[in-house]
């Protein structure tokens, strides 16, 4: 399936090409305030499949996102590129770097979803309805409000939610602009289908299976208040892959690029600058 119409370009179009892969349930346009802090870079951001394929697949893990990324790079002639991934996007880049290390040069992963191996095993073993009963995030996503009379109503409703209150005002506005779709009748709905979001939560990737096969050095950034990468897993990663670089960002949650885009960009820019010389 051609990917030529399924990506956006952010930042300096004449700058150094950098790959960006976003988080589950969000849109690449929301990373604009983060990208702005890299004036010498052109960010190529593939839209994840749920933003252009409404047919929700029954997935066992997140391989579909890895394969989409690899196919996109091959179609676009991308190789040896700096890559930045967040959450689900980070996991997809990580796995792609194992399968196709030639595609990447420097890799930065922002709060990748690294669940304990035993959790992944039992979650993937259970039927969907039972998963939703045991893991609240699956049920929450599958029942997420998906219709408003207008975009204005959506903004008023979502703006009161704690997760969005942590976003910078500009990022929240970008979510309303791109993450909420205006229907033909003037009503509004989620651009990233809640069915896809729930299925992704219900089919976590077992990173531990391919961890030992990682050849590329990776810069991993964890949010101090992460709900997808526990302190225990963070320490285990460092013991398992001590060739990587690790940084814990204080005072932030999982959605770091939306909460502290300037501060996060500064940390990543410093790392990439060191790798350039």
Domains of the chain, residue spans = 7-276
pLDDT at 170 (0 to 100): 98
- Summarised one tens digit per residue, pLDDT across range 83-114 is 999 999 999 999 999 999 999 999 999 999 99
Give the chain as a 3 state SS string. CCCCCCEEEEECCCCEEEEEECCCCCCHHHHHHHHCCCCCEEEEEECCHHHCCCCCCCCCCCHHHHHHHHHHHHHHCCCCEEEEEECHHHHHHHHHHHHCHHHEEEEEEECCCCCCHHHHHHHHHCCHHHHHHHCHHHHHHHCCCCCECCHHHHHHHHCCCHHHHCCCHHHHHHHHHHHEEECCCCCEEECCCHHHHHHHHCCCCCHHHCHHHCCCCEEEEEECCCCCCCHHHHHHHHHHCCCCEEEEECCCCCCHHHHCHHHHHHHHHHHHHHHHC
Q: Rounded mean pLDDT of 218-237? A: 97
pLDDT at 130 (0 to 100): 87
pLDDT at 219 (0 to 100): 98
| pLDDT surpassing 80 at residue 248 | yes
User: pTM for the complete prediction?
Assistant: 0.96
| CATH class given for the domain over 7-276 | alpha beta
Query: Residue 125: which pLDDT band, with cuts at 50, 70 and 90?
Result: confident
């Amino acid at each position: 399936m051609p990917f030529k119409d399924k990506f956006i370009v952010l930042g300096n179009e004449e700058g150094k090409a950098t790959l960006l892969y976003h988080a589950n349930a969000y849109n690449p346009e929301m990373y604009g305030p983060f990208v702005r802090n890299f004036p010498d870079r052109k960010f190529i951001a593939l839209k994840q499949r749920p933003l252009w394929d409404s047919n929700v697949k029954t997935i066992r893990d997140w391989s579909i996102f890895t394969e989409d990324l690899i196919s996109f790079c091959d179609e676009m002639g991308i190789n040896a590129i700096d890559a930045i991934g967040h959450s689900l996007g980070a996991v997809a880049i990580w796995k792609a770097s194992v399968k196709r290390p030639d595609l990447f040069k420097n890799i930065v992963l922002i709060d990748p979803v690294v669940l304990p191996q035993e959790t992944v095993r039992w979650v993937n073993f259970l039927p969907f309805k039972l998963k939703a009963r045991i893991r609240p995030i699956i049920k929450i996503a599958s029942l997420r409000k998906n219709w408003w009379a207008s975009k204005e109503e959506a903004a008023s409703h979502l703006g009161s939610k704690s997760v969005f209150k942590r976003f910078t005002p500009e990022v929240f506005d970008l979510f309303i602009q791109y993450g909420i779709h205006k229907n033909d009748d003037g009503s509004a709905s989620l651009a990233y289908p809640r069915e896809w979001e729930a299925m992704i939560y219900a089919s976590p990737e077992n990173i531990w299976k391919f961890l030992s096969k990682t050849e590329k050095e990776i810069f991993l950034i964890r949010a101090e208040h992460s709900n997808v990468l526990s302190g225990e897993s963070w320490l285990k990663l460092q013991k398992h892959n001590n060739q990587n670089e690790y940084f814990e960002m204080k005072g932030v949650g999982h959605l770091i690029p939306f909460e502290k885009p300037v501060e996060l960009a500064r940390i990543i820019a410093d790392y990439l600058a060191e790798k350039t010389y």
